C-alpha cells in the first residue's frame, strides 16, 4: 500500500500561536483516514496545508506525489475538497454549481447522476439558500466528487447536522471508499471516527498523540473492560475476586462492577458465573471507545 | 488560463438578477432618477439656458458617475460578503485562478454599467425627448473605461475592509467625499486653492472630466491627460490590492 498523502513534520503558527507542531502521518491508498481532536486542535489547519490553501512554516507535504503549494493546479485536478463551513452564493441553483464545477475539470463525472446518487435530483433547481444543512453537505460532497478524484478531503463533514442526516452522510462516505477512493477526513465526533475510519490520528494542541486503527488504540490505551452484573449469590464477591484477570470488584448491595483487563476477561467472568452456578439477574459489559482513549491520552474530554 | 471565466460571469449575472432589490437599485435607479429629475427641472418655466443645459449635459454625466460609484460599492460589498462567508475560499480550492474569480466580478459590473447606461439613454430619449448629438459609442467606451479604473479602488477597499458589515460604510466614506471634489457639482477651478490640490489627486476628478468632455463632443486627444491619469489609477490600485488581497 502506497501513501497517497504524506505529511512530514509540519509546523504552522499564526502570530505567537502555534496551531500545528511537528505533525507527521501518512494516508494510505484506499483507506478512510481520520484526523480527530477537539475544536482548535489543529485539524483544519493541517487539512488546509494538505489542500494547498495554507503554506506550512516548516515540514514537507506530498499529495499523490505532488507538492500542494508548488503543484497546486495539478493536484487540484486529482483531489476532491470539501471545506469546513463552506458556503455558496445564496441564490445559485444546485445544477448551476455542479455545472460550473464540471466545466473546470478535464474529465468530469456525470453531474446529473451524481446528484441522483446523493439524493439531490429533486433539488436541481433549488437555490442554495433553500437547502437544509444535510442537503448543502451532500451538494458539497457532489462537488468534491465531480472531477473523479483519487483522494477526497472532508473537513468536519457532519458538524451541525442532526443525527439522522449525519448517518446518511456516513453511508455516502463509505460509498466513496467503496469506489476505490482514498478519504482523508477530520472530525471532533468520536462516534463518527469509530464508525467510518480505518485509521485515526489523535491530535491535541497541534500535536499528534497517536495513530492507529480505532480498535488498536482502544486496546493499547484502554485495555480495561468492565462487567456490570446483578446477583444475589452469597459467595459471588469472593469468586469474582479470585479471578486471575480481575483488577477491582465494587459492590453496591447485589450490584457488582467488575473491572479487569485482557482479551479473555469477559469470558472469564462468564465462566466464573457458570462454574459457581450463580443466578444472575442482569449482565452487561462496558467496552471503552475512542472517547475514553481520548480522555486517557490527553487528560481532558474532547467536548471541553 | 481564464478557464471558467464566461461561465462564472454568466452565473454571477444570473445570481445578481435573482435579487430584485439589488437589480432595481443598480440598474433601474439611475434611469429613473434621470427621468424624475429631468421632468422636475425641465418643467420649471423660467428654466432658461442654464437649467436646460443641466438636463441635457450634466444630468447624463451625473447618472454615469453614479453608475460607476454604484458599481464600486457593489463590488466592495460582494467581495467582502464572498470572503466572509467562505465562498472565495471555496472557489480558490478549485482550478479557478484567482484572477478569473475577480475578473468575473469586474465583467459583471461592466456589463451592468453598460446596461444601466443604455437604459438611461433610452429613458432620456423617449421620456424626456432629449436629443443627443453625442457619439454614444464613444461615451460608452469612456464610461466603461472610467468604471474599470475606479473599480480598482474598489478592489483595494475590498482587500482592506475587515468584514462585510464595514464594506458599505467604508466604501461610502471613501467614495462620497471624492464625488464632492470631483468637479461634478462644482467646477474644480471654483474650489478654494487647498481643495483644488486635493481634487487634482482624486481619481474621480479625471473620470468626471473625461465623461463630461466626451459627452460634450470633445476629442479623446483633448482628454489624453485624463486617460493617462485613469490608467495610472488602475495600475496603482490593482497592484496595491494584489498586495493586500485576502481570501479569508
Closest-CA residue of B relative to A89 is B87
Subunit contact A87:B15, Cβ cutoff 8 A: no
Q: Is residue A21 part of a domain?
A: yes
Please tell me whether residues A87 and A17 are part of one structural domain.
Answer: yes
In this structure, are A58 and A154 located in the same domain?
yes
Contact yes or no for B87/A88 (Cβ under 8 A): yes
Chain A residues with CB-CB distance to B90 below 8 A: 83, 86-88
Flag whether pLDDT at B85 surpasses 90.
no
A238 Cβ under 8 Å from any chain B Cβ: no
- For residue B52, the Cα-to-chain-centroid distance in whole angstroms is 25
What is the distance between the alpha carbons of residues A101 and A94, in angstroms, rounded to a whole number? 11
Give a three-class secondary structure readout of chain A: CCEEEEEEEEEEEECCEEEEEEEEEEEECCCEEEEECCCCCCHHHHHHHHCCCCCCCEEEEEECCECCCCCHHHHHHHEEEECCCCCCCCCCEHHHHHHHHHHCCCCCCCHHHHHHHCCCHHHCCCEHHHCCHHHHHHHHHHHHHCCCCCEEEEECCCCCCCHHHHHHHHHHHHHHHHCCCEEEEEECCHHHHHHHCCEEEEEECCEEEEEECHHHHHHHHCCEEEEEEEECCCCHHHHHHCCCCEEEEEEECCEEEEEEECCCHHHHHHHHHHHCCCCEEEEEEECCCHHHHHHHHHCCCCCC
Rounded to two decimals, what is the model's pTM? Answer: 0.84
How many Cα atoms within 13 Å fall on the side-chain side of residue A124? 10
Asked if residue A214 and residue A237 are part of one domain, the reply reads no
Residue A101 placed within a domain: no
- pLDDT score at B47: 47
pLDDT bin (cut points 50, 70, 90) of residue B55 is low
Quote the domain boundaries for residue A277. 224-287
Please determine, for residue B148, whether its predicted confidence score (pLDDT) is greater than 80: yes
pLDDT band, residue B97 (cuts 50/70/90): confident
ipTM, interface predicted TM-score of the complex: 0.82
Residue A210 shares a structural domain with residue A228: no
pLDDT score at B42: 67
- Per-residue pLDDT tens for A12-50? 999 999 999 999 999 999 999 999 999 889 999 999 999
Same domain, yes or no: A13 and A26:
yes
Specify if A134 maps to a domain.
Answer: no
- A92 part of contact set with chain B, CB < 8 Å: yes
- Å between B87 CA and nearest CA of chain A: 5
CATH number at residue A256: 3.30.70.980
Query: Considering chain B, what is the average pLDDT of its residues?
Result: 85
Residues of chain B positioned with their CB less than 8 A from the CB of A77: 95
Report CA dihedral (A66, A69, A72, A76) to the nearest 10 degrees. 80
Number of independent structural domains in chain B: 1
A34 shares a domain with A154: yes
- Report CB contact under 8 Å: B8, A99: no
Nearest chain B residue to A146, by CA? B94
- A86 and A228 share one domain: no
| Count of domains observed in chain A | 2
Same domain, residue pair A23 and A89? yes
Cell 463509505 belongs to which residue?
A174
Q: Considering only the beta carbons, identify the residue of A73, A86, A101 that sits closest to B86.
A: A86
pLDDT at A147: 93
- What pLDDT does residue B217 have? 86
pLDDT reported for residue B43 = 60
pLDDT at A303 (0 to 100): 67
A86·B94 Cβ contact <8 A: no
A157 & A282 share domain: no
Domain limit, last residue, from A192, A219, A246: A219
H-only helix segments in B128-163: 136-160
Last residue of some domain: A219, A248, A273? A219
Is the pLDDT at B52 greater than 70? The verdict is no
Q: Which three cell numbers mark A216?
A: 488498536
Question: Per residue in B221-246, pLDDT tens?
Answer: 999 999 999 999 999 999 998 888 88
Grid cell, residue B212, equals: 463630461
| Mean of pLDDT values over B115-142 | 83
Could you tell me if residue A139 is inside a domain?
A: no
> Are A206 and A237 in a shared domain?
no
A258 within domain boundaries: yes
Residues of chain A with pLDDT under 50: none
**Greater confidence, A66 or B99?**
A66
Residues A73 and A180 in one domain: yes
pLDDT at B91 over 70: yes
Q: Is residue A112 part of a domain?
A: no
Stretch B123-151: mean pLDDT: 84
Residues A63 and A37 in one domain: yes
pLDDT value, residue A20: 95
CATH code at position A157: 3.40.50.300
Contact indicator for A257, A250 with CB cutoff of 8 Å: yes
Which range marks the domain in which residue B229 is found?
5-244
From A201, A219, A237, give the residue that closes a domain: A219
Asked if residue B51 has pLDDT above 60, the reply is: no
Amino acid at each position: 500500500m502506497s501513501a497517497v498523502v504524506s505529511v512530514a513534520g509540519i509546523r504552522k503558527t499564526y502570530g505567537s500561536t502555534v496551531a500545528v507542531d511537528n505533525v507527521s502521518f501518512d494516508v494510505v491508498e484506499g483507506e478512510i483516514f481520520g484526523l480527530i481532536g477537539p475544536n482548535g486542535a489543529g485539524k483544519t489547519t493541517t487539512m488546509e496545508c494538505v489542500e494547498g490553501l495554507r503554506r506550512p512554516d516548516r515540514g514537507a507535504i506530498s499529495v499523490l506525489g505532488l507538492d500542494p503549494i508548488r503543484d497546486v493546479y495539478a493536484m487540484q485536478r486529482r483531489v476532491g475538497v470539501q471545506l469546513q463551513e463552506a458556503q455558496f452564493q445564496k441564490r445559485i441553483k444546485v445544477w448551476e454549481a455542479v455545472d460550473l464545477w464540471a466545466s473546470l475539470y478535464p474529465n468530469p463525472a456525470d453531474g446529473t447522476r451524481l446528484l441522483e446518487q446523493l439524493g439531490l435530483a429533486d433539488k436541481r433547481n433549488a437555490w442554495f439558500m433553500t437547502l437544509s444543512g444535510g442537503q448543502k453537505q451532500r451538494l458539497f460532497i457532489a462537488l468534491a466528487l465531480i472531477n473523479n478524484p483519487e483522494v477526497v478531503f472532508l473537513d468536519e463533514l457532519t458538524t451541525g447536522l442532526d443525527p439522522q442526516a449525519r448517518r446518511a452522510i456516513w453511508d455516502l462516505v463509505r460509498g466513496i471508499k467503496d469506489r476505490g477512493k482514498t478519504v482523508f477526513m477530520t472530525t471532533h465526533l468520536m462516534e463518527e471516527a469509530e464508525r467510518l475510519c480505518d485509521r485515526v490520528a489523535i491530535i491535541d494542541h497541534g500535536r499528534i498523540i497517536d495513530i492507529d486503527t480505532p480498535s488498536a488504540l482502544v486496546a493499547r490505551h484502554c485495555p480495561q473492560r468492565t462487567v456490570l452484573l446483578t446477583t444475589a449469590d452469597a459467595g459471588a464477591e469472593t469468586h469474582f475476586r479470585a479471578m486471575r484477570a480481575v483488577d477491582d470488584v465494587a459492590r453496591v448491595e447485589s450490584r457488582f462492577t467488575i473491572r479487569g483487563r485482557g482479551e479473555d476477561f469477559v469470558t472469564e467472568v462468564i465462566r466464573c458465573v457458570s462454574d459457581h452456578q450463580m443466578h444472575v439477574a442482569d449482565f452487561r459489559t462496558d467496552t471503552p471507545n475512542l472517547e475514553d482513549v481520548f480522555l486517557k491520552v490527553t487528560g481532558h474530554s474532547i467536548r471541553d | 488560463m481564464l478557464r471558467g471565466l464566461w461561465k462564472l460571469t454568466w452565473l454571477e449575472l444570473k445570481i445578481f438578477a435573482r435579487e430584485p432589490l439589488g437589480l432595481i437599485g443598480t440598474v433601474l435607479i439611475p434611469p429613473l432618477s434621470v427621468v424624475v429629475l429631468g421632468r422636475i427641472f425641465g418643467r420649471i418655466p423660467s428654466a432658461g439656458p442654464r437649467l436646460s443645459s443641466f438636463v441635457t449635459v450634466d444630468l447624463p454625466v451625473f447618472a454615469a458617475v453614479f453608475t460607476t460609484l454604484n458599481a464600486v460599492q457593489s463590488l466592495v460589498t460582494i467581495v467582502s460578503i464572498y470572503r466572509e462567508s467562505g465562498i472565495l475560499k471555496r472557489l480558490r480550492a478549485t482550478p479557478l485562478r484567482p484572477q478569473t474569480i475577480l475578473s468575473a466580478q469586474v465583467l459583471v459590473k461592466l456589463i451592468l454599467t453598460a446596461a444601466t447606461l443604455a437604459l438611461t439613454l433610452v429613458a432620456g430619449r423617449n421620456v424626456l425627448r432629449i436629443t443627443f448629438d453625442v457619439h454614444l459609442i464613444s461615451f460608452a467606451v469612456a464610461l466603461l473605461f472610467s468604471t474599470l479604473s475606479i473599480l480598482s479602488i474598489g478592489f483595494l477597499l475590498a482587500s482592506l475592509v475587515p468584514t462585510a458589515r464595514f464594506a458599505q460604510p467604508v466604501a461610502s466614506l471613501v467614495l462620497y467625499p471624492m464625488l464632492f471634489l470631483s468637479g461634478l457639482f462644482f467646477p474644480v477651478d471654483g474650489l478654494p486653492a487647498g481643495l483644488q490640490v486635493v481634487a487634482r489627486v482624486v481619481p474621480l476628478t479625471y473620470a468626471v472630466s473625461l465623461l463630461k468632455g466626451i459627452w460634450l463632443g470633445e476629442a479623446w486627444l483633448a482628454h489624453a491627460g485624463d486617460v493617462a491619469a485613469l490608467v495610472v489609477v488602475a495600475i496603482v490600485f490593482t497592484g496595491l490590492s494584489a498586495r493586500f488581497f485576502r481570501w479569508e
